[in-house]
Structure 1
Amino acid sequence: MSNIHHPSRRRFLQGVAAAGTAAALASSPNRALALQSPNERPVFATIGLRNQGWGITQKSTGLADFVALADVDSNVLGENVEKLKNKQGKAPDAYKDYRKVLDRKDIDAVMIATPDHWHTKISVEAMYAGKDVYCEKPLTLTIDEGKLIEKVVKETGRVFQVGTMQRSESSQRFLQAIALIRDGRIGTVKKVTCGINGMVGSPVIPVTEVPKELDWELWLGPAPKVDYRALPEMRTGYGGGVPLYSNCHYAFRNWHEYSGGKLTDWGAHHVDIACWALGATDTGPSKVTPLSYDLPVEYKDGYPVVNDQYNAATKFKIGVAMPNDVEMIITSEGDNGILFEGTKGRFFVNRGKIAGKPVEDLKENPLPEGAIEKVYGGPISKNHTANFIEGMQSRKQPISDVWSHNRMLEICHLSNISMRLGRELNWDADKREIVGDAQANAFLSRENRKGYEINM
């Protein structure tokens, strides 16, 4: 990477020593926090703009002023600069290198929507640069990355929102589901099934020329250096305009080098709600068992033996032993959503509906007044960004905090490790390590490519 300023832990701690701990944690090392009153609009920037990056940006323009955008694809960057100019009446500055955003002293917070393998490096460096952070889910590529982010949040005092928007949006169906469980409407929960869809494998994807608008070296970043691969057929619909089969852009979710397949894509949504409902957001499972699964390529010692096809699981059924003898099933079969089953009944919830007899019974026996707000922890924010900004103002962590997210995501990461190795894993939730399995524990972390280490 080019030799420009790197925010760092050393620089942050020098600021703490100079300003005093309390003052340093209350404001950025670079500037006083802009949010001096609830009526003052924060200054934001977005790093990573394709699809969800633009989605969270355009939804937030009514709440914040965006002064900068960054993306390694010049076409995507240019298109989004123009769209944002039209939406907010002023063009943001444009950068290929995200570090130039972090160097800006006028920016309060960054929204990160890069591919997953970049999340941790940018998040950590942003916090040391004095920025609050909104980062898309899944927050990490490994369990140890989650531990690092928790450490830096605590050390810097930054506010950090994870983009698991089901916690505050989707017409409050998921909050209602949790309220039903807490009010005992299905008795004691015995089983929860998270349907998160499967995926399809790919044909062999050949090495081809890198698109001229894409900085492939910078897109790879912390991931291993490999050739760009793509087939000519283009993706349509959501995420369209890019090759249907590639090792980049929308398809990155299908490669363990950059993401975790459906387990960390939809799993990061539904497993999160399931854990919240079970009161397991600060604990973890005791065992993860791959009951059945299909990997699209051959694996040896947990690694794919070929590098020219998608390698994340296409079909799966994972058994998870949760606290209080609750059985969790994560499956690619059936409806996308969550089925809660208890000693007195069951119901199903997803983004489009909440259904079952306990829901029907609400007509005659509604939930207690304020039950949904009690789940949320107070008045419900109008959207996920509003909750983030409220946290910036109060200096309290928002509804999708890093600790609850990481505990939930550990289940998804362990599920992938169990399939890659083809065996059951016993998990020590206190030590946050796999019991008696050195090979499996090696998958809890990864080494960033030289030149792209996390700058501490």
Structure 2
Amino acid sequence: MLKNRQTNRRRFLQGMAAAGTASVVLRSPHQVFGKESPNERPVFATIGLRNQGWAITSKSLKFADFAALADVDANVLGANVEKVGQRQSKKPDAYNDYRKVLDRNDIDAVMIATPDHWHTKIAVEAMYAGKDVYCEKPLTLTIDEGKLIESVVKETGRVFQVGTMQRSECQQRFLQAIAMVKDGRIGTVRRVTCGIGGMSASPAIPVVPIPDELDWDFWLGPAANTPYRALPQMREGYGGGVPLYSNAHYSFRNWHEYSGGKLTDWGAHHVDIACWAIGATDTGPSKVTPIEYTLPVDYKDGHPVVNDRYNTATSFKIRVDMPNDVEMTINSTGDNGILFEGTKGRFFVNRGKIAGKPVEDLTDSPLPEAAIEDVYGGKVSENHTANFIEAMRSRTQPISDVWSHNRMLEICHLSNIAMRLGRELNWDPAKREIISDAKANSFLAREPRKGFEINM
């Protein structure tokens, strides 16, 4: 059995290398196997605790016990250990290095809420350590990372939930929207518009001393080595307690080195719902065209020419040619949400409302009784973590699986590549590669920094 597993893993790694994915390092066999099933109340650990890391941890305390927390910022780590300790009978253990979490046999699952450039490395290593995984969206930094994660989920049989919580929460408005489309309430879908908002540019951000509490080298991890930058003005409200402008903390989303701007932030939510509604969760676009857009810095050959300010798109309008002649538009302007337009009408949905004549018509002509459950695949879970734990117990994949997530996220990644290169991209959804454009295809993967390869 072990010999067969090692042979399969060798073939898998050879296949990934042939596909041009990130460098990997073989992990010893005794580290691959983990617990086969969770306890009645599963034991969790969270890796990455600022902002969304605390949000998903706090929501999950109702369903799971947290044995450990990990973060590279000592202040964030300490504060969250205290908060979790107040909510459960025992303080979780605290680690700077996530690998100490993966080495523990008493942990059933990890929740990953690090910056995006860390997701794939931690997720893959967690699965090979025998852990189920809940990872915040966007799941990946590149398209090839998504292919790698899919392969490891299939190989290891681990349960993997992506944190696109609109699939389970928001008072079921999005599930209702999908059910309406599938029930033909707007006829044949012609257009879908995803309003996801824009991002702000930044002033020049100087190199400054690294805060004492931050392990900057480990924060960078697989990303290229670069100095820590920040301005003294502090952020208020959500994400407070950190510089308003920096190349770390909450501002990581504004840098292509670590994320994909609004396209992979809000885009990962609304493009997901749009693809689900039009039946495109297992396919992809044929073309992605940047109609108009603004990049906050100059680019050459797809790369920013300066490194001292934000570099993701601040505004954009992108056309995406989807199957069945559906035109998708991703906008930085207009209301945040999704507008569905068909041959018989149109309606709009976001986290605060669902509105339009087809919605009003539900008063006299309601959806079939089980329409929303049919969309969800059963009774709708109490929240996204509850669905994850239900999947852990049944050993099935949850509502936000890696395959559907990666398919829609490919649209977001391609949109960023198209803007960086300033041209339309033709996409082969079967081969999952850009057609006849070697330069654009070079952006499908990213080589990790030496010493931060994925350990498998």
Q: By how many angstroms is 1:89 displaced? A: 2.3
| 1:30 Cα deviation after fit | 3.2
Deviation digits for residues 106-146 of structure 1, max 9, x if unmatched?
A: 00000000000000000000000000000000000000000
- Aligned residue number for residue 70 of structure 1: 70
Q: Which runs of 5+ in 1 are unaligned?
A: 1-9, 18-27
Name the structure 2 match of 1:107.
107
1:196·1:330 contact (CA, 8 Å) conserved in 2? yes
Residue identity opposite 2:224 in structure 1: P
Q: Is the 8 A contact 1:12 1:29 kept in 2?
A: no
- Displacement of 1:16 after TM fit? 9.7
Contact conserved, 1:191 with 1:328, CA < 8 A, in 2? yes
- For the residue of structure 1 that corresponds to 2:203, the secondary structure is coil
The one-letter code matched in structure 2 to 1:30 is G
The Cα of 1:455 is off from its aligned counterpart by 1.1
User: 2:35, 2:131 within 8 Å by CA — same for their partners in 1?
Assistant: no
- Matched letter for residue 127 of structure 1: M
Residue deviations 1:245-292 (CA, integer Å, cap 9, x gap): 000010000000000000000000000000000000000000000000
Distance 1:31 1:355 in 2: 47
Say which of 15, 31, 34 aligns to 1:30: 34
In the other structure, the counterpart of 1:254 is 254
Name the structure 1 match of 2:198. Answer: 198
Corresponding residue for residue 17 of structure 2: none
- 1:297-376 aligned within 5 A: 297-376=297-376
Per-residue CA shift, 1:366-420, capped at 9, x if unaligned? 1111101000001110000000001100110000000000000000000000000
- Is the 1:186–1:342 contact (alpha carbons within 8 Å) kept by the matching residues of 2? yes
What is the 5 A alignment of 1:146-225? 146-225=146-225
Alpha-carbon offset, residue 14 of structure 1: 5.5
Matched with 2:53 is 53
Deviation at 1:15, TM superposition (A): 12
- Residue number in structure 2 paired with 1:137: 137
**For the Cα contact (< 8 Å) 2:60–2:385, is it kept in 1?**
yes
Q: State the SS of the aligned residue for 1:33.
A: coil
Do 2:189 and 2:340's aligned partners in 1 also have CA atoms closer than 8 Å? yes
Match of 2:263 in 1: 263
Contact 1:12–1:129 (Cα < 8 Å) also in 2: no
The superposition leaves residues 135-191 of structure 1 with CA deviations (integer Å, 9 ceiling, x where unpaired) of: 000000000000000000000000000000000000000000001011110000000
Q: Kindly tell me: are residues 147 and 15 of structure 1, through their superposed partners in 2, closer, same or farther at Cα, counting changes over 3 Å?
A: closer
Instruction: State the AA in 2 paired with 1:34.
Output: P
Q: Distance in 2 between matches of 1:131 and 1:325?
A: 41
What SS does structure 1 have at the residue aligned with 2:237? Answer: coil
Deviation at 1:77, TM superposition (A): 0.2
Q: Is the 8 A contact 1:142 1:443 kept in 2?
A: yes
SS in 1 for 2:45: strand
CA RMSD of aligned residues (A): 1.6
Amino acid at match of 1:152: V
1:23 corresponds to which residue? none
> How far apart in 2 are the matches of 1:240 and 1:180?
39
Equivalent position of 1:395 in the other structure? 395
Query: Which residue of structure 2 aligns with residue 450 of structure 1?
Result: 450
Change (3 A) 1:438 1:238: same
Please tell me whether residue 441 in structure 1 is matched to residue 441 in structure 2: yes
Displacement after TM superposition at 1:13 (Å): 3.7
**SS of residue matched to 2:455:** coil
> In the alignment, which residue of structure 1 is the partner of 2:26?
none
Q: One-letter code of the match for 1:384?
A: H
2:275 matched residue in structure 1: 275
Q: Retained in 2: the 8 A contact 1:47–1:53?
A: yes
Q: Residue type of the partner of 1:308?
A: D
Identity of aligned residues (%): 79
AA at the equivalent of 1:234: M
- 1:29 Cα shift? 1.6
CA distance in 2 between counterparts of 1:353 and 1:323 reads 28
Flag the 1:95–1:11 CA change in 2: closer, same or farther, 3 A: farther
| CA distance, structure 1, for counterparts of residue 201 and residue 210 of structure 2 | 22
2:364 & 2:132 partners in 1: Cα distance? 45
Aligned residue-pair number: 434
Q: Distance in 2 between matches of 1:359 and 1:307?
A: 48
What SS does the aligned partner of 1:134 have? strand
Kept in 1, the 8 Å contact 2:319–2:330? The answer is yes
Number of the residue aligned with 1:407: 407
Compared with structure 1, are the counterparts of its residues 223 and 446 closer, same or farther at alpha carbon in structure 2 (3 Å cutoff)? Answer: same
Q: SS of the counterpart of 1:340?
A: strand
CA distance in 2, matches of 1:419, 1:447: 21
SS at match of 1:138: coil
**What secondary structure is seen at the aligned counterpart in 1 of 2:110?**
strand
1:4 is aligned to none
- In structure 2, do the counterparts of structure 1 residues 158 and 15 end up closer, same or farther at CA, with 3 Å as the change threshold? farther
Any conservation in 1 of the 2:37–2:393 contact (CA below 8 Å)?
Answer: no
| CA distance in structure 2 between the partners assigned to 1:144 and 1:30 by the alignment | 26
- Cα separation, 2, equivalents of 1:149 and 1:409: 13
Structure 2 CA distance for aligned equivalents of residues 223 and 16 of structure 1: 29
Partner of 2:289, secondary structure, is: strand
Secondary structure at the counterpart of residue 181 of structure 2 = helix
Letter in 2 for 1:228: Y
Query: Distance between the aligned counterparts of 1:423 and 1:11, measured in 2?
Result: 48
CA distance in structure 2 between the partners assigned to 1:58 and 1:16 by the alignment? 39
Runs of 4+ displaced beyond 2 Å? 10-17, 30-35
Counterpart position of 1:20: none
Give the secondary structure class of the aligned counterpart of 2:319. strand
Contact 1:116 1:139 survives alignment (8 Å): yes
User: 1:128 maps to which residue?
Assistant: 128
1:33 positional shift: 2.3
Alignment-derived partner of residue 89 in structure 2: 89
Amino acid in structure 2 at the alignment position of 1:206:
P
